[in-house]
Every structure is written in structure tokens, then in C-alpha cells.
A and B are shown apart, each in its own frame.
Chain A
């Protein structure tokens, strides 16, 4: 009598091999540009081209050094632009978490006139790309007044252009973030709000002391998405910023292209721009995936 438990269906093995092969191919396609960029950032240009069509392009072999990174710091104001990017991204993310979550809280937990219309408008705005409103927005911020501070004195500016706040404030309110918060908050039972109301909590206290602590996953998701969005911002900073002192990293790379023809240096610049994003995503990926899955939202 044959021992059937020891027999494995050959079709199953082929299917599994095929699946793994496809996954490896996909992994190679996704990872190849990243690994190539990082490895090339440590190599001189000649070696990059020599290694280009071989496996060496993906390996830290040959003349490896930090020369390209040093050149980037010498040829550009990358440290200033890095600080600008960190500040703009950080401020937008923090303000965005507060503003968008409050909007979603108001829409999902409170009752007021016009609520349905506002919610429908926000959902409708989801389909409008930023590019469609960028020019009218530019015209608006070009004429908006701003109260600033310079040399210990309050000054009145008649435009927002060439500033850090023009890159932050118009980006704070985000319809997709509001939508994500709304979907998450809607699933939190209203009993918590009611119990807190009986305990004497105001709507703000219900938001801050009850809802926010229960909403870790969605806050992480929105933070990551807004971080990625702001860190990679290119169009808007190009439109509103000319001065180097307030320029972030992404437009800076365009400028850097003009100052060098060394691909190793360009790769070094690109690596420095990319690595913070990778770190943030790797740190928060579990919460991000969990939140996206539970909110039933893709992409």
C-alpha cells in the first residue's frame, strides 16, 4: 500500500516555484533602482558606467568612498535645504494631523447644520488633483498679507511667496487625510462620547482625551502619507520659492543638476533625500498596513 501522506502533488511544487520566481522578479524591479542609487553614490562616475550592466552595479565593490557625499556638501546648500525640508514636512504633518483629525471629528461625531453638504464636498474634492488648483492658489498666496518678524521688529509683508509658511499652510488641510480620519472615527462606538459627555467632557475633551488615544493606527497612517507627500513635494516649491534659504530638498536636486555632471554626486544627493523616507516607512509600516486594511482603503 502506498504511503499517500509522503506524496506531494508536483503541480503544487511548480505553482509554488512559479510564484516565488514572480515575486523575486517583482522584488528585483522594485529594489533595483534603490540599491543601484545607493551603491553608485559611493563610486566614482567611471566605475558606475563600467559596472552598469553587471552585478557589480548592485554591490559595494571597487573604489568605494564618501567623496561624492563630501562634494554634495561643498557644491550645494544641502544642509540648509535638508533643514527646510524637515521643518516644512514636520510642521505640515503635525498641523495636518491636528486640523484634519479635528475636521473629521466634527463631521463624524458632532451634529450641525450643513454637515452632509460639507462631507459631500470633501469627498467630491478628492478627485481634483493639486495641479488643477495650483495656479489659482499661486495667485492667491502671491497677494496674501503676512505679519512677519525681522531684526526684532514686526513687519507687514504683502505676499507669501519665497517663505516657509507658503510651503506649509496651503498643504495642511488635506481631503484624503480627512477622509481617512472620518472612516476610522465613524467606527468608534458613540457610547464612548456619550459616557464622556455624562462625565462632563466638552467636545474638545472628548476629542483629545478619548478619541485621539484610541486612534493610533490612523494617526500613524496619515502621518506617513502626509510625510511622504510633503517630503516629495516638487511642483509647489518650484512655483512659490526662488530663494535658496527657504528651498527644500526636492527642487534643490534640480538646481544641483546644474552644478555638476558627476552621476556619483547626483546619486549621493538622491540617496540623502530618499533615506529619511525609507526610515520613517520602515519604522511605522506595521501601523500603516493595519490602519489601511481596517479602514478598507486601498492606495
Chain B
């Protein structure tokens, strides 16, 4: 087990800078997920930790040791690749023992470590098979087994579930989480799937364009996103955004009006100008049908997707904005009709349209702390 620190890590490819001074502090035993859209730099960051990419500036520190110039095999890391990277000409056992054989470890030690990893991952019946004789899930387990055998300080996962079907992905997610509980190692996991991030992580690092947007526990990012990007990225379906004009300011208390004329007031972190248009965020699952919240709005229903346990309604608000509603499957939402929904002010997010930063961070902090302590 080991700490992992990134100090102002920068990556340049020629003239192009892709990672801009990333600072991160990962405690030993934490399961940290790097998440973000394609091209945000999450895989590049992971590869720099692994030693597969050079570090243009800054430091990567593993277990107190700066490893910028240390070869990948000496950093105490092991990596699971998106493509599994199982050597096709070697059996499962040979794949798993490859590193140990290169290091000329004694035969008994190799047998013991491979056997132990195979037992943990239920690979014992498959040890003599070639990768082409395995299913996708089995190959993924062999790739994980290869990392366990190395007994690393830090496990690295580069989108390991991308090539699996939806059902297998759910299964493997649970297995990896169980593995983390069992082994207790520090794990860094890269994915573009925010559902994986939310369900697996102790801590999520949201990246965009080579910069860290926010670091925090999954529920912290869900309840108190620091900006519009994080708010829209975390949560599925994504957060709805509506314009809210400031009618009046009384200190930090703002009187706001939506496009459809509905008004409500909220206390912000700082005063804003009267007349400014803010961006109000409300999650689809926080729009309530048939219940009275703090603010009621009318929506015109375009499309309804009834999944049985849940219903998704794609609607229009004030003739312009698309709003997604997630309701319990027992609600019948008529297509082409107008429905009344409401939301609680506690669930409202407000963002400055010029900076995209949240105006409710401090307001929500105590609520989030309460949720996290109860979780």
C-alpha cells in the first residue's frame, strides 16, 4: 500500500501542452477514479504515473519516492489495459507469471503467487488456456490476475471495462470493488463512464482539457459540484439547466425568475448584479410529479421512455429548454400533454454564466457534510 502524489504535473507533446499543472494527493488504500470526456487527459495522467509517458514538468511521488526517472517496472505499479494486452501465444498461467519469470523468481514462489491470484479471481480451471479460448470477462480477470501477482503498491486501471457488454460491465464493476476491499491497495482507475466513477470510487477526480475541475467523494460531487461542467458530467441523465434572472438582491439573498415566470429566492455565496442571468441546475430525479415542492413549473411532454421501474420524460420548458424528468415507474406520463412538476430549493444549483462556477458551494457544504457522515 502506498501514497501517490502528483505535484504540478505538466505534459507537453511538442508545442502542445495537454496536462496543465495537476496537483493530486491520493492516500494509501484509496480507490480513486479519474473521469472526464474523451481527450481530457485522464489516460495520459495515468500513463505518466505508470512511467509509460515522460513527465514534462512536475513530480510523481509514489510512497515518498519521486519516480519521474524510474522505469515502469521499478515504480511498484501494475496496470490493467483497456485491451487486456494478454500475450496471445502464452497460456493464462504464463501470462500471469511472465513478470516473475523475467525477474528469475524461484519456481515455487511463482507457483504460489500465481496460484493465489488464480484462487482470488477463480481462474484455476483456466490456467492452461490461451487467451483466444477465453471470454471477455475471463480475459479481463486474467489481466487483473497479472497485476495481483506483481504485488504492487499501486494498481492502475485504464478503462478496463470498455470492451465488455453492459451486463458484464456491471458484474466486473462489483468484482473490482470487492477486490479492492479484499486487497486494500491504492487503486487509480480511469473511465469516461461516470456511473463507474460514482459506484466504485472513494474519491473522484473530474478532468477537462488537462485540468482538474474537482476532486471529492462521489456524493460530494453529486450534491455540491464546483462548476457547471462537473454538475453536467456527474449524474445520469445529466442535470437540466435553465436560465434564472436576478430580479432583486438583498445582501446575498437573490430573488430569481425563470423563463416561464416562476419566482423563488435563494441565498448565494456572494452578491450578484440585478438583471444578471444565472444558470439554474436541477437534476432530472429531483423534479417531482404530483408532489408539491417549493417551486412548480409546467412542462410539455415530447417523448416518454417507460422502463418499468423508472420512467424518463423528455419535455420542453417555456417553449425553449429541453428538460428531462426521471420519475418512478408507477407514474403514467402522457405524451404530448402538459404536466406539472415541482422541485425543492435544496436541490437547486446556481452557476455564474460568465465563470460557470457554482454560487452555492458554501451554502451546500454543511448539507453535503451531513450526507457524507451518514453514508
Residue numbers of A with Cβ under 8 A of B are: 189, 191-192, 194-201, 205, 209-210, 213-214
Give min CB distance, B4 to chain A, whole Å: 16
B73 contacts A200, C-beta separation under 8 Å: yes
B77 at the interface (CB under 8 A from A): yes
Tally the A-B contacts, defined by beta carbons under 8 Å.
56
* Neighbour of A195 across the interface among B51, B79, B88, B103, CB < 8 A: B79
5 extra interchain contacts, Cβ-Cβ under 8 A, other than A195-B81, A195-B146, A198-B72?
A189-B85, A195-B85, A195-B87, A199-B150, A200-B99
Contacts of B52 in A (CB 8 A): 194, 197-198
A214 contacts B88, C-beta separation under 8 Å: yes
Contacts of A213 in B (CB 8 A): 87, 89
* Neighbour of B103 across the interface among A189, A197, A200, A209, CB < 8 A: A200
Give min CB distance, A263 to chain B, whole Å: 51
Contacts of A191 in B (CB 8 A): 81-83, 85
B50 at the interface (CB under 8 A from A): yes
Given A205-B102, A214-B88, A198–B83 Cβ distance below 8 Å? Answer: no
Contacts of B314 in A (CB 8 A): none
Main secondary structure on chain B at its contact with chain A?
loop
B98 at the interface (CB under 8 A from A): yes
B77 contacts A196, C-beta separation under 8 Å: no
Contacts of B71 in A (CB 8 A): 197
Convert B211-224 into 0s and 1s, putting 1 for each residue whose CB lies closer than 8 angstroms to a CB of A: 00000000000000
B78 at the interface (CB under 8 A from A): yes
Convert B92-103 into 0s and 1s, putting 1 for each residue whose CB lies closer than 8 angstroms to a CB of A: 000000110011
Interface size bracket, B side: 20 to 34
Contacts of A210 in B (CB 8 A): 87
Within 216-266 of B, Cβ neighbours of A (below 8 Å) are at none
In the complex formed, the residue of B with least CB distance to A189 is B83
B89 contacts A200, C-beta separation under 8 Å: no
- Taken together as a complex, chains A and B put the C-alpha atoms of A1 and B296 apart, in Å, by 72
19 contacts between A and B (CB under 8 A): A189-B85, A191-B85, A192-B85, A194-B50, A194-B79, A196-B87, A197-B52, A197-B71, A197-B72, A197-B73, A198-B52, A198-B73, A198-B99, A200-B73, A200-B103, A210-B87, A213-B89, A214-B87, A214-B89
In the complex formed, the residue of A with least CB distance to B149 is A199
A199 contacts B83, C-beta separation under 8 Å: no
Contacts of B87 in A (CB 8 A): 192, 195-196, 210, 213-214
Give min CB distance, A202 to chain B, whole Å: 9
In the complex formed, the residue of A with least CB distance to B72 is A198
Contacts of B72 in A (CB 8 A): 194, 197-198
In the complex formed, the residue of A with least CB distance to B83 is A191
Convert B139-164 into 0s and 1s, putting 1 for each residue whose CB lies closer than 8 angstroms to a CB of A: 00000001000100000000000000
In the complex formed, the residue of B with least CB distance to A192 is B85
